[in-house]
Chain A
């Protein structure tokens, strides 16, 4: 699976959009970009995934660059409950997930 690079931490003010970047320059054509988050002492929560088109669901939007070498997860209106570690994972279908160190997002008042 392709390796991903994420900033170790980010801050975001409550109510503002949180934009979490991820680099995956070695992604191959059949690999998807998945985003999960883990709130302290809980199991990870699936957020969204995509192949090459931008995706949106009730939780977030995923913007994938045209060359697929990077992506951005957007939480449109961050709340305190969005404080968590966010993991960007690149993998093929039905493949195991390899968790990196993720980005620790701190949402502040």
Chain B
């Protein structure tokens, strides 16, 4: 099956710093990538959808200037949490899909962010 990786798997940072999370599709070209956030004991919430080579589409209530998304290639998307604060601590998960191969999304293992 399709494999999606994320790096890092966990990160701890100080309040006010920026953190970049990478999402890679390892064995397929992902024309669309999605970023989700999951708080403890809650379900996944979609943050944004990014298509390769174009600007991301953010969900209502998600600050685009705080959560910067770049999808510069068909195998890599990055999420940068700028000026992170403790309330940004969460489990961030990406997924990737390629309509040419079917519309199912394949998820990465997630990145646990802890902001002190």
- Tell whether A and B belong to one assembly: yes
Q: Which residues of A contact B (CB under 8 A)?
A: 32, 34, 36, 38, 41-46, 49, 87, 93-102
| Interface residues, chain B, with chain A CB atoms under 8 Å away | 1, 4, 6, 32, 34, 36, 43-46, 49, 91, 93, 95, 97, 99, 103-110, 112
Q: Main secondary structure on chain A at its contact with chain B? A: loop
Residues of B with C-beta under 8 A to A93: 99, 103
What residues of A have a CB within 8 angstroms of the CB of B107 in the complex? 36, 43-46
Residues in A neighbouring B32, C-beta threshold 8 A: 94
Q: A38 to chain B: which residues have CB within 8 Å?
A: 44
In the complex the two chains form, is A99's CB within 8 Å of B43's CB? Answer: yes
Chain A residues whose C-beta falls within 8 Å of the C-beta of B103 in the assembled complex: 32, 93-95
Pull 28 A–B residue pairs with CB atoms less than 8 Å apart, ordered by A: A36-B107, A38-B44, A42-B109, A42-B110, A43-B6, A43-B93, A43-B95, A43-B108, A44-B44, A44-B107, A45-B107, A46-B1, A46-B105, A46-B106, A49-B104, A93-B99, A93-B103, A94-B97, A94-B103, A96-B34, A96-B49, A97-B34, A97-B46, A97-B95, A98-B46, A99-B43, A100-B43, A102-B43
Distance, CA A101 to CA B43, complexed state (A) = 6
- Beta-carbon nearest neighbor of B43 in chain A: A99
B40, chain A: closest CB distance, angstroms = 10
Across the A-B interface, give the 4 residue pairs with the lowest CB-CB distance, nearest first.
Answer: A43-B107, A99-B44, A99-B43, A93-B103
